[in-house]
Amino acid sequence: MDYSALFRQTFEELGFEVVVEWNVFRSHYEYDWTSGWQCRLPAVSFKSNTVLIMYMQDRVTVSNGRVLELEKIVQHYGENSKQIVAVHMHPGLDEIYSGPLKLIEFSKHNYDLMSNLQSQIKLWQHIPQQTKTMSWQCLNGRPCQHRRRAVDVLQTWANGVLSYGRDISLTQWDYGTYRGTSNEENFVRLAQVYGSCAFNIVTETLYDEYPGLYSEKTLLAFLAHQIPVMISTPRMVEKLRVLGFDMFDDIVDHAYDLAPNDCRVEMALESNRPVISSHYDTSRLLPRLQANKELALVKLPDWYQTNFKIRARAIAEL
């Protein structure tokens, strides 16, 4: 189901007059790490049954436990803020935000990616079926500090595939060719890498401040029958586990999931180096790997739809 129809129809069927702002965040060029996004704040004539759905199409800015974009919305709409639903992509955002806005988690990015890959399965179904001849992969496009730290450690490791922007290029595809290429296309053309590596050291988009997000970087590891080691925000392993993903706690030491920012990268890698470097035979894990793939590809899009409807009903009953 198209996400725009899902958002509107769900609330209309609950008796609301629906107003939607589909792209709350303005251009990337206007983003500031210290003050957050510039936001589109439409003029709305609120009635008693009006709901304004504000779809936040990218990450929010969390600073010292404050969600800067949500504060901007409340400051603008004042008393009407209680009739606003902020749709976001961060598992756990409701644990740190307690203001008048109503929150619903729905990542269009992940929803569309999995839906697209369902329809294109013939192009990539061979990837998880390949024999894992390499120990690990860690693919890094956009350079940033936590990825640089991971690369600094991994450059000394053997039997893996490492890339870092234009500094460390993949033999298969140079980073300079990525512009304009979809995540689906990249997955297919990097089939040899994903298919041959047992562990995926996932350097996610966000690192410093909880809550983070999980993206194609994590989901493609599940589709490729890989064991993920997460270089991400605190508690991301926990959040994925709650969703139902097998994080292979019997194989990977996830004590790093709660470690401080200044050592989490290094702890995740060094504490798991023996198993990552051991030419681990993942064929014995096939049922578990298949379950993760099914959860990511089929059940996750369904979960997003179901979660949206459940949260909407809960909001209607307030």
The domain segmentation of the chain, as residue ranges, is 3-106, 112-299
Q: pLDDT of 44-86, one tens digit each?
A: 999 999 999 999 999 999 999 999 999 999 999 999 999 999 9
Q: pLDDT of 246-261, one tens digit each?
A: 999 999 999 999 999 9
Give the confidence band of 27 by pLDDT, cuts at 50, 70, 90.
confident
168 bridge partner residues: 164
DSSP 168: B
**pLDDT average, residue stretch 171-193:** 82
Our measurement of the distance from residue 234's CA atom to the centroid of its chain's CA atoms, rounded to an integer in Å, reads 14
What is the pLDDT of the chain when averaged over all its residues? 95
CA nearest neighbour of 52 among 120, 123, 104, 130: 104
Do 45 and 77 contact (CB within 8 A), yes or no?
A: no
Is residue 201 predicted with pLDDT exceeding 90? yes
pLDDT for res 174: 65
Q: pLDDT of 102-157, one tens digit each?
A: 999 999 999 999 999 999 999 999 999 999 999 999 999 899 999 999 999 999 99
CA nearest neighbour of 111 among 247, 202, 5, 236: 5
pLDDT for res 178: 64
Q: Which CATH class is domain 112-299?
A: alpha beta
* Whether the model pTM is above 0.85: yes
Distance CA 154, CA 150 (A): 6
Distance CA 299, CA 159 (A): 33
